[in-house]
Amino acid sequence: MIRDMLKKGQALPRRGSNMAKTAIVSTIGRLTRPGASPDEAYQKLFNDVQTGRVYHDGKTFVDMIPRGPVREVVRQYERQREQPGFDIKQFVATHFDTPSTYKLGTYQPTEHTSAREHVTNLWNELTRRNRINRGSLFELPYEYIVPGGRFSEQFYWDSYFIMLGLAADGRWDIVSGMMKNITHMIGRFGYVPTANRTYFLSRSQPPFFVHMVRLVAKERGVLRTYAEYLPAMLREYHFWMKGENLLRKEGSGQAIARVVRMPNGALLNRYFDNKSTPRPEARGEDMHTAMVARTPNKSEVYLDIRAGAESGWDFSSRWLRDARHMETIHTTDLVPVDLNCLLYDLETTIADTYERLHQGLLADRFRAVAERRAKAIHEYCWDANSEFFYDYDFKVGHTADRPTLAGVYPLYSHVATTEQAEKVAARLQKDFLQPGGLQTSLFQSGQQWDAPNGWAPLQWVAILGLKNYGFDKLANTIRDRWLGACEALFAAERRMVEKYDVTTPGRAGGGGEYNLQDGFGWTNGVYAALKDEQQAHE
């Protein structure tokens, strides 16, 4: 009975403890699949709403909750849409609800609330619990923190940076729940989807799960934590490496799914997606991009857009052959330096776990794989002429020519040599450092993951990477400038936002496919962790 109720999106019985309900959701979730993605479920209704731009933001409709059985809603649409005076927006308003989770509650900071206090106060505002399917939002067993604004689900890589702030505030209860949600999704799907939405199930995001494990280990102990999460780390690793055995065979091509065979035979990874259709949450935009692209194969354009979304950098001139034109996107041709550093972290942590469990042969195996990856990153992603790390374009056989903050990941992951780290640090100080922190790239394309925008996760990666190699002074300068940018905007507008214009402290970032969002999960998390560090050393 309970399984049928969950499948139909009905509420669980009120009787019983939270622990019992959570256990039921966790168990049943492994036995059932979420509903269909909105583009598959709503058929022509979906296409007409999204391509007709009924809503300014394409994510609005795909997050709506149907008030009745989906098949009946679709039948009603087919019956009514040809009638005189039919209003599609009114039809949607009649048959769908807008999630209440889109907006923050009644909390507002006072003129005396500091930015640090504001972050602590926001955790409760950004906490969600969803134990049943609600339209495209599928259930998770435990509470979680959402980014805020239009983002009302638990996002993968956002979660790590949110956890930094939760840890700083001692909210290990929520950290634990979010970790259990992530391992629940790994157990259910074999990987971590972008977020708990049906339309995100074809792709993942930068694999920061290993860094979540390391964070929790600082609180709970390394051996206990690593051993608990080893099965999930292995399963995620196998997701990213799916196809490696086929790729080692002669005549198998250069790439399969997320794995790329390099010229020397080494295997590295790329961002990808399991579908090659327009993203449901941006159908109109993607169809326009494909329409103007100078290629007859529109599915390749859609795949590259989706792969760019999996990268978390959606979007950036980093992925474009012509930095000013979205239709030249070619994400799947690139071996991203950041992705491969994160997978190096995963391999070394798996090796470390096996070592602690006295499984020497398995430890040696993963350590060797990690060393081969690090060697390949040096060979293919380091450019000796410009003395910086780049993505590698395996279709043309050389590094890409777009310097971005992805180039700091080899420092974050301890992949860079001491000499390389010194060169990267000098480049950051010379070209990337601005009055409000580090800009994401050196090119203003109008995309949100480019100059002049700065993003909290990249500040964190750069700061820790620099400190790994002893560049504490530069790291602290970046930290202080970033905190100053966040505080200047908070003082003026009483809000934390997802991105900032680092050329002018106090100015919000811009560009991209949607309006600037408030909240904001990972900004809050990184701000709290860095602010506490700053105050501890004053």
| Tokens encoding 525 | 């998390």
Specify whether 314 is catalytic.
yes
Closest CA to 466 of 499, 494, 429, 515: 429
Report the alpha-carbon distance of residue 244 to residue 363 in Å, rounded. 20
DSSP state of 11: P
Q: Please report where in the chains the tokens 């157990």 appear, as a residue.
A: 187
| Tokens encoding 72 | 């009946």
In this structure, which amino acid lies at residue 283? R
Report the alpha-carbon distance of residue 514 to residue 3 in Å, rounded. 37
Catalytic residue among 314, 327, 345, 487: 314
Specify whether 501 is catalytic.
no
Closest CA to 382 of 343, 417, 347, 339: 417
293 contacts: CB under 8 Å, gap ≥ 6: 301, 327, 328
Report the alpha-carbon distance of residue 247 to residue 157 in Å, rounded. 28
Closest CA to 103 of 143, 139, 150: 150
DSSP letter string over 39-50?
HHHSTHHHHHHH
Catalytic residue among 143, 273, 281, 498: 498
| Tokens encoding 311 | 């990268």
Report the alpha-carbon distance of residue 448 to residue 313 in Å, rounded. 8
Q: Please name every residue paired with 320 in a beta bridge, in sequence order, or none if there are none.
A: 329
Geometric angle at alpha carbon 260, from 255 and 262, rounded to 5°? 115
Report the alpha-carbon distance of residue 405 to residue 94 in Å, rounded. 46
- Cα–Cα distance list, 157 to 160, 163, 259 (Å): 6, 10, 20
Closest CA to 233 of 155, 346, 340, 354: 346
Report the alpha-carbon distance of residue 120 to residue 532 in Å, rounded. 12
- Cα–Cα distance list, 37 to 46, 93, 101, 410, 465 (Å): 10, 20, 20, 36, 39
Closest CA to 137 of 127, 147, 123, 151: 151
458 contacts: CB under 8 Å, gap ≥ 6: 405, 408, 438, 440
Report the alpha-carbon distance of residue 152 to residue 101 in Å, rounded. 6
In this structure, which amino acid lies at residue 69? P
142 contacts: CB under 8 Å, gap ≥ 6: 22, 129, 176, 177, 178, 180, 181
What positions carry a catalytic annotation?
A: 314, 498
